[in-house]
Amino acid sequence: MQASVGLKTMILAAGRGERLAPLTTTVPKPLLEVGGTTLIERHIVRLVQAGSRELVINVSHLAARIEQRLGDGHRYGADIVYSREPGGPLDTGGGIAQALAQLGDAPFLVVNADIWTDYPLVEILHLHSDSPAHLVVVPNPPHHPVGDFDCQAGRLRRADSQPYTYAGIGLFLPRLFAGRVPGTRFPLAPLLFELAAQGQLAGEIYTGAWFDIGTPERLALARGSVSGLA
């Protein structure tokens, strides 16, 4: 797979954020603020700066709030289209499969809306890889000590010891989702684990700032930690 600046990015923003309730009862998780800006708007600005301006955002929970806030993206220098999931969130895999027609035939980047990181996105936008997926992984955070993968020589594998967790940033080939019926709900993780078992999953380790905003405690940690970070 050869990626280049200008490829499309999908931002996963459809989740309910149930563990963050009652905050997410009226505010969708992507619109929570960390460091003075919303999570999703920070992603959009950084993606545009890195060279990815065509964005697909999936929406479901409080979708109108997200669409009203972001609009068509032009004020950020982006071109935003929405992949709507009105029947409820389709989970990570289902959300991507639902949006394939909007993402096109080229490799595309996927970024979870509910993370905060200073990972240099331009690096993955210039990536050269022969794998159907390339993930950014981070050292296991306290809330996920068992991890997802081991990483050796740029390959991610399932192992007895798994010191790394998927960071919610990945480059994918559309064929990875071939045969999936749009509108079907399914998670992404089993698909990635299968690739890892086949030795086909590429990855890189990032040790910089990264926060998964999944609970009120983790939101507070991120807010207290990002002061002064780019």
**pLDDT at residue 228, as a whole number:** 61
pLDDT at 199 over 80: yes
Average pLDDT, the chain: 95
Sorted by where each begins, the domain ranges of the chain are 9-225
3 versus 49: which is more confidently predicted? 49
pLDDT at 6 > cutoff 90: no
Closest CA to 147 of 166, 167, 165: 165
CATH of domain 9-225: 3.90.550.10
Q: Is 157 helix (H, G, I), strand (E, B) or coil?
A: strand
How buried is residue 144: exposed, middle or buried, by Cβ count under 10 Å (0-12/13-18/19+)?
middle
What's the CA gap between 130 and 202, in Å, rounded? Answer: 8
- Per-residue pLDDT reduced to its tens digit, 67-77: 999 999 999 99
Using only C-alpha atoms, the chain has a radius of gyration, in whole angstroms, of 16
Is the pLDDT reported for residue 146 higher than 70? yes
CA distances to 3, 38, 105, 110, 199 from 173, rounded to whole Å, are 10, 29, 8, 11, 16
Asked if pLDDT for residue 3 goes beyond 60, the answer is: no
For the segment 184-195, what is each residue's pLDDT rounded down to a tens digit? 999 999 999 999
Q: Is the pLDDT of residue 59 over 70?
A: yes
Distance of CA 136 to the CA centre of its chain: 10
Which segment of 72-86, 126-140, 211-225 scores lowest on mean pLDDT? 126-140
